[in-house]
């Protein structure tokens, strides 16, 4: 285990030493495409979508890191078949650097695991969130795509995590409860300044075409009452290959690459690639990167 950084009141200095290896956290550099995958409520299949997208992108030749940002309730490690020793808890407790908790998976993408059953991670401070953003910035210099598998809901730290991304993928279902909570999340995001673009995936569609109909309902309400425009990425069917899965099985795009759900996931990736500037890394400056976005939205959240 890495040694704990002393608490000396110089939070930015600590962050530079811990994550930036002596360089400014705001220096001009390379940043991966940062995509947050979220939902208004739990149980929509968000983590299923994010892990399978990570594997499919990796198989397509992208350098991908999946970051489990469901703080305290992480499960991405189970879906990717790994048993991590270190997690985001050790990063936020300043015991380890982000680069030290990244682990490889046998399915291609790297993983930053979240803690599980750790109540302290359910209420992160601004300093914690700045540490997260700075650690993510260090990863973004090494990978092509960062996928942030966020917690569901509209808590302040969930919303701030979404604001770290360049693009948000909202996963919802055709059921009224899922759509109601999805709209609540969209409404909260629409109030944020300089928010990322939002796209939608309709998961567990019981029949073909219902996804687009469901999206149109959500998009119309969001446009009319929240002045928020969104893009449709596609539907993923309620496929028996998904519903019959058990813990410990490989991700669907690996075990059943030709099933309908796996084909739809690859279709979602094609649409996202078109919507998110090719999912290419970009050059960022002092007022454009992950750390800057965290600082701006932390200050905005305190003032609202």
DSSP letter string over 166-195? SEEEEEE-SSHHHHHHHHHHHHHHHTSTTP
pLDDT confidence of residue 92: 85
CB distance 225 to 217 below 8 Å: no
- Class for domain 29-303, per CATH? alpha beta
**Which of 197, 225, 188, 222 lies closest to 301 in space, CA to CA?**
188
pTM, to two decimals: 0.88
Each residue's pLDDT tens digit, 6-27? 333 444 444 444 444 434 444 5
Residue 146 forms beta bridges with which residues? 34, 65
Tell me the C-alpha to C-alpha distance, in Å, between residue 211 and each of 3, 58, 148, 175, 192. Answer: 50, 26, 23, 11, 27
Give the Cα separation of 270 and 217 in Å (integer): 23
Distance of CA 105 to the CA centre of its chain: 18
Asked if residues 287 and 194 have their Cβ atoms less than 8 Å apart, the reply is no
Identify the segments of the chain with pLDDT beneath 50: 1-26, 302-304
The 3-state DSSP class for residue 283 equals strand
Domain ranges of the chain: 29-303
Cα–Cα distance for residue pair 13/153, rounded to 1 Å: 33
């Amino acid at each position: 285990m890495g040694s704990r950084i002393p608490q000396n009141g110089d939070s930015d200095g600590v962050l530079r030493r811990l994550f930036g290896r002596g360089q400014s956290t705001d220096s001009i550099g390379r940043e991966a495409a940062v995509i947050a995958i979220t939902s208004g409520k739990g149980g929509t299949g968000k983590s299923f979508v994010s892990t399978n997208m990570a594997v499919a992108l990796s198989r397509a030749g992208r350098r991908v890191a999946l970051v489990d940002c469901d703080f305290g309730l992480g499960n991405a490690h189970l879906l990717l078949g790994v048993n991590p020793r270190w997690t985001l808890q050790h990063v936020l407790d300043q015991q380890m650097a982000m680069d030290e908790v990244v682990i490889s998976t046998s399915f291609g993408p790297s993983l930053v695991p979240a803690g599980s059953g750790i109540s302290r991670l359910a209420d992160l401070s601004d300093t914690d969130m700045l540490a997260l953003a700075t650690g993510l910035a260090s990863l973004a210099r090494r990978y092509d795509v960062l996928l942030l598998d966020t917690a569901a809901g509209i808590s302040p730290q969930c919303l701030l995590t979404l604001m770290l991304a360049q693009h948000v993928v909202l996963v919802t279902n055709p059921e009224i409860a899922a759509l109601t909570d999805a709209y609540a999340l969209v409404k909260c995001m629409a109030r944020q300044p300089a928010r990322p673009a939002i796209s939608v995936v309709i998961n567990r569609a019981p029949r073909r075409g219902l996804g687009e109909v469901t999206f149109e309902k959500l998009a119309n309400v969001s446009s009319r009452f929240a002045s928020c425009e969104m893009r449709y990425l596609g539907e993923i069917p309620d496929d028996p290959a998904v519903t019959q899965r058990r813990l410990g099985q490989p991700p669907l795009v690996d075990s059943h690459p030709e099933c309908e759900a796996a084909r739809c996931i690859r279709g979602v990736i094609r649409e996202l690639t078109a919507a998110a500037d090719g999912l290419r890394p970009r050059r960022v400056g002092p007022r454009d990167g992950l750390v800057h976005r965290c600082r701006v939205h932390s200050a905005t959240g305190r003032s609202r």
